[in-house]
Amino acid sequence: MPAPTVTPTVQDPTAPDPQKCPGYRASNVQNNNHGFTADLTLAGQSCNVFGTDIKDLSLVVDYQAKERLNVRIVPKHIAPYNSSWYILDSEFIEQPQWDGSTSSQSSDLQIKWSNNPSFQFSTSRRNGGEELFSTFGHVIVYESQFLEVVTNMQQNYNVYGINENIHNFRLGTDYTQTLFNADTADHLDGNSYGTHPFYQETRYSDGGSTAHGVYSRNVHAQDWLLRDTSITLRAIGGSIDLYFLSGETETSDGPTWGGRPGWGNFWWGGHHGAHGGNGGQQTSTSTALEVFRQYQAGCVGLPAMQMYWTYGFHQCHWGYKNTDNLREVVTNYSNAGIPLEGIWTDIDAYDRTRVFTNDPVNFAPVDMQSLHAWLQSRGQHYIPLVDSNVYFPNPNNASDVYEPFQRGDALQTFIRDSGTGYYYLGNGWPGFSTWADWLIPSSQTWFTAEMQLAHERAPYDGIWIDLNEAASFCAYSCGNGELPASYIHPPSNMSRDTRNLNNPPYKPNVSQTSTNNIIDMVILPNATHNDPYNTTEYDIHNLFSVGILRAAYNAMSQTVFPGKRPFIIGRASVAGSGRYTGNWGGDNDSRWGAMFLSISQALGFQMVGVPMFGTDTCGFGNAVNTTEELCARWAELNAFFPFYRNHYGIGKAPQEFYNWESVSEAARRVISIRYSILTYIYTLFYYAHTQGDTVMRALAWEFPDDSTLYQTDTQFLLGPSILVTPVLTEGDYTVNGVFPGIGQGTRWFDWYTLQEVKNVRPQQNVTMDAPLEHINVHIRGGTVLPTQAPGNTTTVTRSNPYGIIITPDNQGSASGNLYLDDGESISPSSTKLVEFDYSRGRLTTKNTGNYQATAPLANITIAGVSRQPRSVTFSTGRGRPSNVKSHFANNTLYVTGLEQYTRGGAWQNEFTLQTS
């Protein structure tokens, strides 16, 4: 039975205007040492525009940390039975708290409010008074199934985020972004798989910039209306729980580029200005990169650290026939000389597409065990799919036995149908299906047991989780064939204690199907959970994504691989999911436009603390096959994404890289680069995990004062130091790109030749050659970049000799960091952090920690050297300097033969390289 077609409210010209409502008035204001509280009372006659007005609200203003201010509005009278309507469980989404010391006087931010004509407030910077968010001139609307907050915006504002979306990097000012997790197949400009209600704004003026962030802790279906001079947030439930992030940090504006305080270099912190300054005086600045750190560290949690091997290249296909086919693919990659780290299977490996089973013929457990042992002997890995739906056996067929369901049934772990009281039955690949209820502990017990049994039957090294929006392939509870009562009558404003869940008065602008209906392709909103108050799916739909991701993380880290970092790639996500998982971009088209938009999609996930992100290289397919040219270009692009996997759909033409010689060559070249800098990528993830740094970066984030970069999304940086300029259009063998910072102290060096980019003006769009097998990559001046000789797997690469590339800045200095551990433990027993400093021809290292990396240091390469040095010496520890081999050509110094001095491991001892 199809769902009725509805008109989203934002597309309905006859829809009432919530801003005609009376708003609220504040009273009973009570100050405390970190903010104040107040009562909010409806300021006039109820308007009941999209629900029932809630007359009495409670306001909390909390200066939670120096950089973070919280404004929270909830109903004053909440009973246990309706708590989930308004209050978001901190077990799933972290609730930031006061740090115990910040006050209104010590905060970066301040708030002002007025009751004229109704309650309205604004937040601004304490230093300088810049207004960041203001509801002045607008009313707050709070109803049983609708809330609205409007903030004033400057014209032509630069806002980024409100993810997940398939859209340009800068969102624009005539755009509506809907957040409601659904199986949308990468639908352009609509709701997608994830919900991250957070935006970052950058403002440019007088040659500088400021940045701040706004986070709404709400996971109900919601629309964000970006208009010329305003942004409107509308949600169909939850609370108004806003967090304002200053983006400010104290920096030393001295003769070095300022990263985070005490770090001593720009390498992990971002460039806050040109050289010079005020002689080291502490000044306050705000940047997008700092906003993201504050959001992750203070609001939603820092991302998980991934295992080292996961940064290799992976191959998947929905359509591999059997284990022999998997071995063939792995062997073909090896024969083509293309490194491959992991082979993945889709639902083909299941018995009749039922999760936690194996096809007894084509992917029999004994064959899967043999396959896994073979892969392990080669230093490679296997990753299967885990679908989120659980097959519901036919109750009229005694032979239809499905043990994973039976074990879950014994624990009463599945979501229920509100009409029948029995399990909610939707539809998935195997047919009628049900879903685990992540609100109850028995679901974790059941899931852990199934994960362990699956590993015993067919060993795996990580998993990918699909359909965790949660997606159902029908409307209604299609297993019982009953029409939901809420569609017998039209939407209406019911009493406060009765809500129209399946047909709410306000229609979010959802687009997972042509009906624009929130009941399509998901679990029905009136389905109930098994907690004491029978929480409805309406209130926690978007939490299913993190529920199963967290369950998988717990199962793997505690039982399947105790103490080891779980490798989990999910599709659907919500704020804070990065604590458990990485993400892939879903079912993308094999089209040039999809490849282009993947950069913005990836940057969006960096903002919200899910750095382990990648899209299906060469495209999943959907309606079309990939092409040789597209696949080559996509292989080059995604080699610089954190997660790198080729995956394509059933019935599509083969697109493993080795199917074309040009793609094979492109892949060999670019994977060689990727594997050379795996230590750099791993270090980036260490700082993401510990500080909230981004791994991929927009040019505007690293060069925040360059207003010409505000919407650049055809280039990006990997960390602060690697500039990537991909070809994104068909038939092009040149590519245009900018070299940010040129003319302001920044130098750039070609990866392949190590020659400096010269004769380029500031903001100039430079045309570069880009043959099919080539992607333009440049190293930023001021970088000390650790490398390793690439191998055919990450394990081999990690055992190969190290190298160092130095690209000095315009003062002849450079710096960098290297983080090392065992590559797999959640809490490593030993670690090592190596800090590099290069100045005036002298490279020194400072080591912290006792982790032993046995690979020696083979060479050091210094670019941008004006003349051949008279002498080059190398010394370790307290040893005497030794003259070492060197070669000088094209302004580059190549120092070789260092293995004899570092046989115990490149970083066992601190060392000094001196050129003079």
Contact between 464 and 482 (Cβ < 8 Å):
no
Query: Which amino acid makes up residue 129?
Result: G
Element (DSSP H or E) covering residue 369: helix 365-377
Phi, psi of 433, deg, nearest 5: -140, 160
Token output for 52: 């029932």
DSSP string covering 234-296 = EESSS-EEEEEE--EEEEE-SSS---STTS-SSTTT---S-S--SSS-EEEEE-HHHHHHHHI
E-assigned strand segments in 400-490: 426-428, 431-435, 463-466
Contact between 573 and 545 (Cβ < 8 Å):
yes
> Residues 6 or more apart from 867 whose CB is under 8 A from it?
none
Active site residue 62: no
DSSP string covering 687-740 = HHHHH---SEE-HHHHSTT-GGGTT--S-EEETTTEEEE---STT-SEEEE--T
Three-class secondary structure assignment of 751-783: CCCCCECCCCCCCCCEEEECCCCCCEEEEECCE
CA atoms within 13 Å, Cβ hemisphere of 407: 16
Cβ atoms within 10 A of the Cβ of 262, count?
A: 6
Token output for 177: 């972004």
Residue 818 three-state SS: strand
Contact between 437 and 550 (Cβ < 8 Å):
no
Q: Cα separation of 83 and 349, whole Å?
A: 42
Active site residue 469: yes
Contact between 630 and 590 (Cβ < 8 Å):
yes
> Residues 6 or more apart from 377 whose CB is under 8 A from it?
none
Peptide bond into 349 cis (omega under 30): no
Q: Cα separation of 656 and 330, whole Å?
A: 10
Number of residues assigned to the chain: 916
Using a CB cutoff of 8 Å and minimum separation of 24, what contacts does 625-628 make?
625/590, 625/652, 625/653, 625/655, 626/590, 626/652, 626/653, 626/655, 627/590, 628/660, 628/662, 628/663
CA distances from residue 684 to 306, 675, 692 in whole angstroms, order as listed? 11, 14, 10
CA distances from residue 761 to 35, 744, 779 in whole angstroms, order as listed? 50, 10, 18
Active site residue 822: no
Choose the catalytic residue: 62, 587, 665, 756: 587
Q: For the packed helices 323-335 and 365-377, what is the interaxial angle rounded to 10 degrees?
A: 20
How many contiguous H segments (helices) and E segments (strands) does the chain have? 14, 50
Q: Where are the alpha helices (DSSP H) in 608-654?
A: 628-638
Token output for 912: 């000094």
Choose the catalytic residue: 469, 636, 773, 809: 469
Q: Cα separation of 579 and 598, whole Å?
A: 22
CA distances from residue 633 to 150, 410, 449 in whole angstroms, order as listed? 42, 51, 42
Choose the catalytic residue: 466, 520, 537, 756: 466
List, in sequence order, every residue forming a beta bridge with 240; answer none if it has no partner.
73
Contact between 508 and 533 (Cβ < 8 Å):
no
Q: Where are the alpha helices (DSSP H) in 788-858?
A: 794-799
Q: Which residues are catalytic?
A: 466, 469, 587
